[in-house]
């Protein structure tokens, strides 16, 4: 393995060794959402005219879990090793900023997908969503996890304590994922809130992802893809720049 | 080509109170290939800042540092391959056991199939039976040994130890110094910062002293010792120190040490004490050591041997 591959391997090993917390717990959370919202809304809501609410909910929950866990992986790893001081072992190595980026974002994608697969396996039991266009599923899952992994790198570099990290997570990441159409089709919203939802990049990640299951979505998957790709480029450019200048990690 | 070259290195930290803090001020010196070099200075003198800049953990505000000719900023990857740094803080990654930590550290440097060297490091540092223990389970001394092993895992030509024996028991100090001395004999350059001046005196061929971010002494250890007053009068005192001695005595509890150049000076000291009506015990005269030189240089009374 080369240097960055070792860092990627170490980062995967890190979350895997505490898999109950990093993989099993988010899967259980998603099942609870499924049980509660599915039970309450199953008979009241139909989406795209034909899709049952539980089936509609499955991809939303999967993608939400992918995004939140991808973010949690890179951000918590960086904050923790900054506070513990063990980041020095990586700082002393010849790894380039690109190596850091690939390793931290790569492991975030791995964690996001691992949780996503887990959530899918247990929630699909409640309502099978089908696989209308599987390639879109993979593309949006990987790109979405990549964006959140890179955002996690930015947040992890910026935060100096767990409190700041929690603020980033609870005041930015959580609302943006919850308000992106995980639990509803934005067509059910009043026009004003539909417009607002269109400004949230998370909406396109989930909408494009859902297209892969149903072959139907609120906006064209190509539009979603272009917006998600642009977001990935912008967020990655910021993350790589911060790593290159050693923002808050090299004095 | 020197192993390490510091060229007019300055570091200025912006500080909340008052003006900016100048941690390093134009530090310039070279460490030759194969040297065992000591970097001494009181707390806050800039030792760790200088080492952080060398290791790429901090950036200089001005000046440049090279390791075997590689600039630590422009050629950081090459420079860091030459360097093995033992950090001062007792840090560890709680997710891994000792062997995993060492394999991962090798991997960062792209060193493959390194188990033979890892086994040798574990054996040399007395860690063999801890290889499968999680880092969290190790005592402080054991964690320190792992830090040393991690720094050496990629076989660096230059070894940097920042206060490696702070708070470490005697046995580890012995093990550690035997091992580092062996590596030095095999051709590795060693840069050491320590508070234990007898360690520096015993191990280092050459010494630089830092004070307030400047090099105030740079000499062979033997020359530094020669430059000091040749003898020290040491005794225990049962009362207050006479004011005549205040500017030159080194006092540790009841123990008083005074620099003495000849018998006449010793007689004078004793007569001052007699006139003050004080009693002395355990009188001895010893050779000046590095601590005397250090105190001399730091109090600016001694001869300056700046670079």
CATH (domain of B128) = 3.40.50.300
B160 plus B93 within the same structural domain: yes
Q: Give this prediction's pTM.
A: 0.90
pLDDT of residue B303: 42
Q: How far is CA A232 from the centre of its chain?
A: 12
Judged against a pLDDT cut of 50, whether residue A110 lies above it is answered with: yes
Residue A22, min C-alpha distance to chain B (Å): 14
Give residues with Cβ within 8 angstroms of B299, minimum separation 6: none
Nearest CB partner across the interface for B150, out of A5, A7, A89: A89
- Is A108 inside a domain boundary? yes
User: Which of A4, A86, A103 is best to mutate for the B interface (most B CBs within 10 A)?
Assistant: A86
At B38, phi and psi to the nearest 5? -105, 135
B220 plus B236 within the same structural domain: no
**A10 has a chain B CB within 8 A of its CB:** yes
B250 plus B108 within the same structural domain: no
| Domain finish residue from B201, B225, B249 | B225
The whole domain housing A26 covers 18-182+193-245
Chain A's closest residue to B103, CA to CA, is A6
Nearest CB partner across the interface for B95, out of A17, A91, A246: A17
- Is A11 inside a domain boundary? no
- Is A146 inside a domain boundary? yes
- Is B207 inside a domain boundary? yes
- Is B306 inside a domain boundary? no
- Is A33 inside a domain boundary? yes
| Domain finish residue from B175, B198, B225 | B225
Residue A233, min C-alpha distance to chain B (Å): 26
Other Cβ atoms closer than 10 A to B152: 24
Instruction: Name every residue in B having a CB less than 8 A away from some CB of A.
Output: 52, 55-59, 76-78, 80-81, 83, 85, 87, 89, 91-96, 100, 104-110, 112, 150-151
pLDDT tens column, B75-98: 999 999 999 999 999 999 999 999
Element (H, E) at A51: strand A51-52
Question: What is the spatial distance between Cα B247 and Cα B283, in angstroms, rounded to a whole number?
Answer: 20
pLDDT tens column, B60-79: 999 999 999 999 999 999 99
- In terms of pLDDT, which residue wins out, B237 or A243? A243
B204 plus B236 within the same structural domain: no
Domain count, chain B: 2
Residue B175, min C-alpha distance to chain A (Å): 23
- Is B215 inside a domain boundary? yes
pLDDT of residue B100: 96
- Residues from chain B that touch A93, judged by Cβ atoms under 8 A, are 80, 105, 108-109
Residue numbers of A between 91 and 130 with CB closer than 8 Å to B: 91-96
The whole domain housing B108 covers 4-225
- Is A99 inside a domain boundary? yes
pLDDT of residue A38: 83
Q: Which of A132-141, B106-115, B270-279 has the lowest mean pLDDT?
A: B270-279
Q: In this structure, what DSSP letter does residue A219 have?
A: S
Q: Do residue A9 and residue B107 have CB atoms under 8 angstroms apart?
A: yes
User: Which of A90, A93, A102, A250 is best to mutate for the B interface (most B CBs within 10 A)?
Assistant: A93
B213 plus B257 within the same structural domain: no
- Is B240 inside a domain boundary? yes
B134 plus B265 within the same structural domain: no
- Is B91 inside a domain boundary? yes
Q: Do residue A88 and residue B91 have CB atoms under 8 angstroms apart?
A: yes
Q: Which of A44-53, A222-231, B136-145 has the lowest mean pLDDT?
A: A44-53
B234 plus B221 within the same structural domain: no
Count of A–B CB contacts within 8 Å?
Answer: 81
Q: Do residue A89 and residue B108 have CB atoms under 8 angstroms apart?
A: yes
B20 plus B71 within the same structural domain: yes
Judged against a pLDDT cut of 60, whether residue A87 lies above it is answered with: yes
Residue B152 in contact with residue B84, Cβ under 8 Å? Answer: yes
Residue B1, min C-alpha distance to chain A (Å): 22
- Is A2 inside a domain boundary? no
- Residues from chain B that touch A17, judged by Cβ atoms under 8 A, are 95
B109 plus B238 within the same structural domain: no
- Is B307 inside a domain boundary? no
- In terms of pLDDT, which residue wins out, A14 or A187? A14
B119 plus B257 within the same structural domain: no
- Is B300 inside a domain boundary? no
| Domain finish residue from B208, B225, B242 | B225
Q: Give buried/exposed letters for A175-195 (b at 16+ CB in 10 A, else e).
A: ebbebbbbbbbbeeeeeeeee
pLDDT of residue B301: 46
B187 plus B239 within the same structural domain: no
pLDDT of residue B23: 93
Nearest CA to A140 among A67, A91, A43, A37? A67
B189 plus B246 within the same structural domain: no
Domain count, chain A: 1
pLDDT tens column, A152-171: 999 999 999 999 999 999 99
Other Cβ atoms closer than 10 A to A174: 14
Q: Is the ipTM of this complex over 0.85?
A: yes
Q: Do residue A84 and residue B91 have CB atoms under 8 angstroms apart?
A: yes
Return the SS3 of A46.
strand
- Is B303 inside a domain boundary? no
- Is A187 inside a domain boundary? no
Q: Do residue A94 and residue B95 have CB atoms under 8 angstroms apart?
A: no
Question: Hey, which of A34-48, A122-136, B122-136 has the most confident mean pLDDT?
Answer: B122-136
């Amino acid at each position: 393995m080369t240097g960055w591959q070792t860092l990627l391997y170490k980062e995967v090993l890190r979350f895997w060794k505490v898999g109950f917390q990093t993989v099993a717990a988010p899967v259980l959370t998603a099942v609870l959402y499924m049980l509660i919202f599915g039970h309450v809304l199953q008979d009241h809501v139909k989406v795209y005219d034909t899709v049952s609410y539980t089936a509609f909910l499955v991809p939303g929950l999967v993608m939400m879990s992918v995004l939140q866990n991808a973010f949690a992986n890179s951000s918590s790893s960086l904050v923790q090793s900054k506070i513990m001081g063990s980041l020095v072992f990586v700082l002393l190595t010849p790894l380039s900023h690109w190596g850091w980026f690939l390793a931290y974002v790569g492991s975030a994608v791995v964690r996001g997908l691992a949780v996503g697969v887990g959530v899918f396996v247990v929630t699909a039991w409640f309502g099978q969503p089908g696989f209308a266009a599987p390639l879109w599923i993979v593309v949006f899952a990987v790109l979405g996890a990549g964006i959140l992994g890179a955002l996690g790198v930015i947040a992890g570099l910026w935060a100096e304590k767990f409190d700041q990290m929690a603020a980033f997570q609870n005041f930015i990441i959580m609302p943006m994922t919850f308000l992106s159409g995980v639990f509803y089709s934005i067509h059910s919203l009043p026009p004003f809130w539909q417009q607002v939802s269109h400004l949230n990049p998370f909406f396109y990640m989930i909408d494009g992802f859902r297209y892969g299951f149903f072959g139907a979505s609120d906006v064209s998957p190509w539009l979603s893809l272009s917006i998600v790709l642009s977001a990935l480029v912008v967020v990655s450019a910021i993350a790589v720049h911060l790593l290159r200048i050693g923002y808050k990690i090299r004095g | 080509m020197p192993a390490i070259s510091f060229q007019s290195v300055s570091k200025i930290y912006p500080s909340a109170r008052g003006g900016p803090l100048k941690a390093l001020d134009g530090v310039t010196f070279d460490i030759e290939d194969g040297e065992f070099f000591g970097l001494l200075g009181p707390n806050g003198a800039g030792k760790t800042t200088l080492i952080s800049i060398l290791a790429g953990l901090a950036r200089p505000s001005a000046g440049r540092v090279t390791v075997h000719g590689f600039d630590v900023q422009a050629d950081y990857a090459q420079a860091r391959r030459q360097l093995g740094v033992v950090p001062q803080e007792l840090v560890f990654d709680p997710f891994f056991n000792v062997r995993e930590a060492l394999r991962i550290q090798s991997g960062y440097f792209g060193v493959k199939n390194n188990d033979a060297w890892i086994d040798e490091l574990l054996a040399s540092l007395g860690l063999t039976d801890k290889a499968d223990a999680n880092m969290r389970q190790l005592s402080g001394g054991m964690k320190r040994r792992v830090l040393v092993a991690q720094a050496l895992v990629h076989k660096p030509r230059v070894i940097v130890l920042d206060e490696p024996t702070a708070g470490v028991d005697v046995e580890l100090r012995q093990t550690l110094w035997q091992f580092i001395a062996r590596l030095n004999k095999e051709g590795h350059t060693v840069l050491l910062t320590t508070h234990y001046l007898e360690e520096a005196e015993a191990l280092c061929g050459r010494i630089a002293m830092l004070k307030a971010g400047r090099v105030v002494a740079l000499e062979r250890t033997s020359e530094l010792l020669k430059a000091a007053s040749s003898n020290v009068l040491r005794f225990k005192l049962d009362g207050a120190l006479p004011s005549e001695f205040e500017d030159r005595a080194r006092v540790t509890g009841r123990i008083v040490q005074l620099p003495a150049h000849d018998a006449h000076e010793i007689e004078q000291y004793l007569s001052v004490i007699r006139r003050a009506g004080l009693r002395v015990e355990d009188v001895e005269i010893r050779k000046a050591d590095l601590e005397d030189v250090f105190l001399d240089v730091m109090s600016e009374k001694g001869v300056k041997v700046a670079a």
